[in-house]
């Protein structure tokens, strides 16, 4: 038989080599067609008496990325339509559909002939679940091999046997940690946990897998044998009593109950280990069917899988512009930001010229890359030769003439209009006319900076976040005259350095900083009201934010908040900044010299390591404190999320962001907006515009104009619209320019 996605070759020993190689895709994924073909291959292997067993591997650099989650989206779409007429029947159909992969892997596991998974590269989700259903597992000894069950990161969980096979192969504590975090495993770590059997040289991977079959590999899973005992011991045992209560408590501490899928994992493992394996699989499928219907799963799959993939592939890239293959990139300014930009550029294999006012300053910037890559080598995440290659790509200089031949120059000099003007003029004098000039600015409008350029069509904003090597989002800012080529080149660059681009029209603070400043401002307001600092920080984390607003202000620097407020007053007048909040920041900076983490004194005190930071005791003395028992904790959580979401809605109303995917993904990647909501706009959609406006009006009445709903939201509430309906990202249209 011939297959579209697989090839099957049987050798002289009667071992079938099943090679998974989907045409037209860079990575193998499970689709309905793939599952049907694998089902037929299992039947073929079983039916052919000459075949003793099978090895499954990949014809690509990676093994598989797991299931195509758009398939789940389609299932949910069908379910949503069918449940209107018969919910019980629709739920049963959904249960059967999501259980197909479970049944397929169980069929492979019990087919009576041995199967070995030969894992040559990235093996994620459903692909790793399939491998766990094989009787043998061999992984290549290479950095390319990463194994994980990462479904919890997109609001679901391993629902094709993962929650049952992992805790039957390794200790329960290790299984729970792996399943609830979705962390990657190396080949060595997976072997140490008992999840794979062998680690082989890449060239001997398939041969090692075949040898397992030749050497008499039993075609029976351990749990199907009589007398099987759980590696971590029974649920009802001393070990179980010591594990489960703290495991539940730790999960609640880490997730605050915001992630139904994480709790479902604990339930699947706990209940599944008490019953026979096939019953356990049905329990898992029931929980999976339930979780798949949750609004958290729908929102997270859309934003953190589908939308993220689309943006990473250049969904907002102008059509008809040839892709730029970068031969050389210039970075102006070798300070912390510029040095970080040079590092990620060189890491992508692109030669980079790092320019500063003098050579020692430029070399100091290169030393930052040396420190970062040396740390990676020390941790075993990079090889010494990779360090040498990366550093060889960075040329420090003080001579603008060295920028000749650059396809793109990223300016990251001091945040001062005059300094940026001089850097722009000197750089453009050395550049070819087709080169693109980008400014990394967080506060100065791109259109005003573009006035310094002799070719404003080729001038664009590329706003990185700190630290550059860790932050995955980049805002691409369009000035009034920015051309399509500049936008396309900026997106090509951001994709080349493996970060996610969002396209934003020009405004003060762009998108991310506008939302972040609202988050911080609401915390300042709470302090002024007398809400204890600890309650503010804990409420933020309980609402789903990774960092409390006071800690975040410390990280970005309190004196920077003061500078932004002063600049806003200069530009827009005194009414543009809340007087009491300005007084609070001035008191911290001018009276107490509390600048944030950088001088170890901010809203928190930062004692020498290993001691942990703690809130500054003096915070309590700044304002009369409210009785914590009389503070509405749930309302604190609501205020912190609603103020951000309202700003995101205003940004959409003003046309600063025009695609809801970018608003959602941007809010999660840039400052960790409660990921379980799917992002700032999905948070509103999840509540419903009408209900959200009601909440906002209630908060406005109690706390002020920052909660005033924009006209856009009021109109959406009247019409019963969502952001993804109102601003359909799949409707044909070009990138919208600033007015």
292/315 Cα distance (integer angstroms): 26
The closest alpha carbon to 523, from 615, 630, 387, belongs to 615
Number of C-beta neighbours around residue 349 at 10 A: 12
End-to-end CA distance of the chain: 60
Do residues 150 and 221 touch, judged by C-beta distance below 8 A?
no
Do residues 488 and 635 touch, judged by C-beta distance below 8 A?
no
Strands 123-124 and 147-148: parallel
Query: For this structure, is 135 an active site residue?
Result: no
* CA Rg value for the chain: 28
CA atoms within 13 A on the CB side of 655: 7
Burial of 590 (0-12, 13-18, 19+ CB in 10 A): exposed
579/567 Cα distance (integer angstroms): 14
Instruction: List all residues 6 or more positions away from 221 whose beta carbon is below 8 Å from its beta carbon.
Output: 109, 110, 133, 135, 165, 277
Instruction: List all residues 6 or more positions away from 564 whose beta carbon is below 8 Å from its beta carbon.
Output: 443, 517
240/259 Cα distance (integer angstroms): 24
The closest alpha carbon to 656, from 460, 441, 507, belongs to 507
Do residues 266 and 177 touch, judged by C-beta distance below 8 A?
no
Instruction: List all residues 6 or more positions away from 13 whose beta carbon is below 8 Å from its beta carbon.
Output: 52, 210, 214
The closest alpha carbon to 55, from 64, 45, 65, belongs to 45
The closest alpha carbon to 41, from 64, 20, 66, belongs to 20
521/536 Cα distance (integer angstroms): 12
Do residues 265 and 244 touch, judged by C-beta distance below 8 A?
no
316/308 Cα distance (integer angstroms): 12
255/253 Cα distance (integer angstroms): 6
301/15 Cα distance (integer angstroms): 39
Strands 115-119 and 123-124: unpaired
Do residues 177 and 169 touch, judged by C-beta distance below 8 A?
no
Do residues 297 and 686 touch, judged by C-beta distance below 8 A?
no
Q: Find the helix or strand (DSSP H, E) in which 73 lies.
A: helix 69-82
Helices 549-556/512-529 angle, 10° precision: 120
Do residues 48 and 14 touch, judged by C-beta distance below 8 A?
no
- The three state secondary structure string of 220-268 is CCHHHCCCCCCCCCCCCCHHHHHHHHHHHHHHHHHHCCCCHHHHHHHHH
Strands 614-615 and 604-605: antiparallel
712/297 Cα distance (integer angstroms): 27
Do residues 128 and 188 touch, judged by C-beta distance below 8 A?
no
Query: Percentages helix, strand, coil for the chain, rounded to the nearest 5?
Result: 55, 10, 35
- The three state secondary structure string of 628-669 is HHHCCHHHHHHHHHHHHHHHHHHHHHCCCCCCHHHHHHHHHH
Selected catalytic residue, list 135, 197, 463, 592? 463
The closest alpha carbon to 119, from 184, 40, 200, 240, belongs to 200
Where are the extended beta strands (E) located within 78-157? Answer: 115-119, 123-124, 136-140, 147-148
Q: Could you give the residue numbers annotated as active site?
A: 463
């Amino acid at each position: 038989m011939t297959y579209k996605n697989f090839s099957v070759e049987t050798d002289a020993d009667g071992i079938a080599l099943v090679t998974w190689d989907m045409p037209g895709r860079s990575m193998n994924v499970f689709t309905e067609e793939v599952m049907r073909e694998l089902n037929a291959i299992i039947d073929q292997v079983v039916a052919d008496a000459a075949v003793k067993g099978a090895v499954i591997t990949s014809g690509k650099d990676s093994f598989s990325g797991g299931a195509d989650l758009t398939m789940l989206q389609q299932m949910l779409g069908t379910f949503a339509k069918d449940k209107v007429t018969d919910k019980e029947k629709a739920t049963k159909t959904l249960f059967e559909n999501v259980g197909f992969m479970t049944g397929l892997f169980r069929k492979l596991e019990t087919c009576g002939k041995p199967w070995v998974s030969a894992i040559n590269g990235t093996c994620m989700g459903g692909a790793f679940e399939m491998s766990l259903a094989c009787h043998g597992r061999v992984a290549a000894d290479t950095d390319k091999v990463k194994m994980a069950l990462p479904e919890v990161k997109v609001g679901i969980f391993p629902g094709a046997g993962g929650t049952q096979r992992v805790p039957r192969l390794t200790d329960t504590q290790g299984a729970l940690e792996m399943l609830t975090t979705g962390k990657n495993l190396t080949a060595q770590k997976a072997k140490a946990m008992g999840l794979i059997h062998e680690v082989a040289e890449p060239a001997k991977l398939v041969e090692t897998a075949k040898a397992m079959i030749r050497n008499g590999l039993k075609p029976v899973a351990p749990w199907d044998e009589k007398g099987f005992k759980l590696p971590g011991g029974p649920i009802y045992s001393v070990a179980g009593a010591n594990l489960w209560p703290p495991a539940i408590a730790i999960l609640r501490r880490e997730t605050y109950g915001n992630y139904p899928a994480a709790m479902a994992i604990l339930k699947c493992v706990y209940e599944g280990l008490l019953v026979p394996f096939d019953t356990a699989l049905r329990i898992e499928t029931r929980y999976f069917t339930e979780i798949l219907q949750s609004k958290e799963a729908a929102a997270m799959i859309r934003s953190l899988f589908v939308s993220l993939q689309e943006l990473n592939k250049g969904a907002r890239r102008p059509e008809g512009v040839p892709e730029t293959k970068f031969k050389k990139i210039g970075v102006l300014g070798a300070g912390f930001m510029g040095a970080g930009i040079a590092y990620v550029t060189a890491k992508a294999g692109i030669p980079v010229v790092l320019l500063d006012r003098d050579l020692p300053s430029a070399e100091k910037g290169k030393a930052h890359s040396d420190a970062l890559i040396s740390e990676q080598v020390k941790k075993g995440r990079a090889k010494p030769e990779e360090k040498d290659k990366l550093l060889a790509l960075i040329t420090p200089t003080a001579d603008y003439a060295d920028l000749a031949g650059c396809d793109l120059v990223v300016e990251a000099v001091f945040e001062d209009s005059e300094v940026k003007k001089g850097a722009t003029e000197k750089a453009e004098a050395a550049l070819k006319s087709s080169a693109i000039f980008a400014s990394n600015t967080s506060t100065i409008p791109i259109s005003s900076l573009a006035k310094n350029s002799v070719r404003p069509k080729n001038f664009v904003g590329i706003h990185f976040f700190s630290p550059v090597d860790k932050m995955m989002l980049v805002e691409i800012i369009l000035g009034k005259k920015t051309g399509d080529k500049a936008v396309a080149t900026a997106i090509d660059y951001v994709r080349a350095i493996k970060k996610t681009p969002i396209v934003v029209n020009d405004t003060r603070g762009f998108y991310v900083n506008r939302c972040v400043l609202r988050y911080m401002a609401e915390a300042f307001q709470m302090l002024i009201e007398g809400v204890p600092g600890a309650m503010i920080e804990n409420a933020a984390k309980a609402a789903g934010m990774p960092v409390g607003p006071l800690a975040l202000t410390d990280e970005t620097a309190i004196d920077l908040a003061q500078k932004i407020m002063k600049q806003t007053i200069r530009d827009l007048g005194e009414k543009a900044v809340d007087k009491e909040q300005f007084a609070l920041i001035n008191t911290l900076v001018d009276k107490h010299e509390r600048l944030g983490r950088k001088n170890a004194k901010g809203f928190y005190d930062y004692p020498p390591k290993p001691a942990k930071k703690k809130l500054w005791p003096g915070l309590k003395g700044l304002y009369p404190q409210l009785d914590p028992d009389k503070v509405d904790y749930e309302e604190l959580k609501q205020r912190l999320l609603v103020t951000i979401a309202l700003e995101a809605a205003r940004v959409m109303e003003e046309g600063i962001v025009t695609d809801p995917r970018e608003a959602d993904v941007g809010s999660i990647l840039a400052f960790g907006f409660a990921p379980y909501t799917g992002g700032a706009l999905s948070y509103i959609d999840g509540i419903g515009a009408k209900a959200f406006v009601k909440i906002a009006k209630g908060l406005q009445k109690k706390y002020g104009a920052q909660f005033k709903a924009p006209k856009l939201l009021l109109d959406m509430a009247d019409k019963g619209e969502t952001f993804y309906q109102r601003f359909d990202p799949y409707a044909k249209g070009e990138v919208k320019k600033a007015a």
